[in-house]
Amino acid sequence: MQWTVVMHNELIKRLKNRSAVIGIVGLGYVGQPLFLRYSDIGYKTMGFDIDQEKVDELNNGHSRIEHIPNERILGAVQKGFEATTDFSRAKECDALILCVPTPLSKHREPDMSFVISTTDMLKPYVTAGHVVSLESTTYPGTTEELLLPRLEENGLKVGESVYLVYSPEREDPGNPDFQTRTIPKVVGGQTEACKQVGIALYEQAIDQVVPVSSTKAAELTKLLENIHRAVNIGLVNEMKVVADRMGIDIFEVIDAAKTKPFGFTAYYPGPGLGGHCIPIDPFYLTWKAREYGLHTRFIELSGEVNRAMPEYVVSKLMDGLNDNNKSLRGSKVLVLGIAYKKNVDDMRESPSVEIMELIEAKGADVSYSDPHVPEFPKMREHSFNLSSVELTSEKLASFDAVVLATDHDRFDFDAIYEHAKLIIDSRGKYRHGNGKVVKA
């Protein structure tokens, strides 16, 4: 027992004096900002990923993520950061922070394969004195049910010889108002000793650490944050449909309502939900709730509303073309913005892609323009051999309709309005009351 206390205190000391080696597992939208932050404040950092091409790019100072400049990656490399596909080097680290995907299966159930396979690759190299922190969004119980038994397979004891933490990521790509350092960090430990180590791991890098009583509480905190947003977006998307039928501009209504200084938070409708969290996270809880005999009707209903939005946008496109004596079949349609939100290059779960597929399936010729996505990327479930169209006046005029799906600041909305024949606006950028703009 005395040995475990000494080891516990020594790990906390190394974390606090920044002599610990921090390993980030999964070098995407969450992992890259995290290793940059630890590198910036003087920690030795290592990155682990199964993508050799990505690893080579990072070691050469190049990031695939638009809002992370190459100069920042190069700076970390010059300070000693190294990316690798060799998971045996995890034994060189004191802390391992897992930032791997947690998507849904085709049956809308949690796909934990990335978490499981990553943990299985790491566990032979996790030794006494390590701390392992999971940041991937998941259902309550994941850390305890999936990670804990795997870490203890080789004779380690969580809370005594190895420390297990759950601390959900809260990255918001492209948001200029917040960065990794300034976003408060929720930390839950599998035991009290684990929580103390988790606090020491994050308090040097993050301005505010928010401890909670358990890994389950931390896991549910992340789900509540994103379910809150998903449900409110579902509400306002449904209100959009009602307002449209009544001939009312929902964006005008929201702008008026948000002048109330209490009791109202503005959420805005759109073409559907995108990103790696909001479209997915509610279904982690609905799946887990069934284990307890519960049916989360409210959450599932909002999911149904949000998933219906791409089809709603396409129906408004068809209405607009019909008013111009055209059918969707055979028309040329340009989708403006295919990233899931404005001013980023992140395509994960983007509703724009579903809109493109629906348009193509109905026999139209679909193209896209996105200044942040010059080439349509390789995606697991979607495939378009397309490049971004340059928005010249001639090009805009050549399409029968343009669908505004993502309202990037780099779009010239005045020029789009001037030269496009028909605009299907799912983002409320245009308040014009003529036949050229169809609100969607």
Asked if residues 302 and 235 have their Cβ atoms less than 8 Å apart, the reply is: yes
Cβ-based burial of 158 (10 A; exposed 0-12, middle 13-18, buried ≥19): buried
DSSP string, 161-184: TBEEEE------TT-TT--GGGS-
User: What is the widest separation between alpha-carbon atoms in the chain?
Assistant: 83
Angle (deg, nearest 10), helices 281-291 and 215-245? 120
DSSP string, 258-289: TTSSSS-------S---SSSTTTHHHHHHHHH
pLDDT of residue 104: 81
pLDDT of residue 108: 77
What's the gap between Cα 413 and its chain centre? 27
How many residues are given for the chain?
Answer: 440
The CATH class given to the 2-214 domain equals: alpha beta
Q: What is the pLDDT of residue 3?
A: 67
Is 277 catalytic? The answer is: yes
Which one is catalytic: 93, 99, 194, 277?
Answer: 277
Task: Decide: residue 149, CB within 10 A, 0-12 exposed, 13-18 middle, 19+ buried.
Answer: exposed
**C-alpha dihedral (307, 311, 316, 318), degrees to nearest 10:** 170
Q: What is the pTM of this model?
A: 0.90
Q: Boundaries of CATH 3.40.50.720 in the chain?
A: 2-214, 256-439
- At residue 161, the pLDDT reads 95
| Domain 256-439 class in CATH | alpha beta
Distance of alpha carbon 151 from the chain centroid: 27
Question: If the chain, 440 residues long, is cut into consecutive pieces of 10 residues, what is the mean pLDDT of each piece?
Answer: 82 97 96 97 97 97 93 97 98 97 83 96 96 96 97 95 97 84 97 98 97 98 94 96 95 97 96 77 86 90 93 97 96 97 90 96 97 89 88 97 97 96 96 84
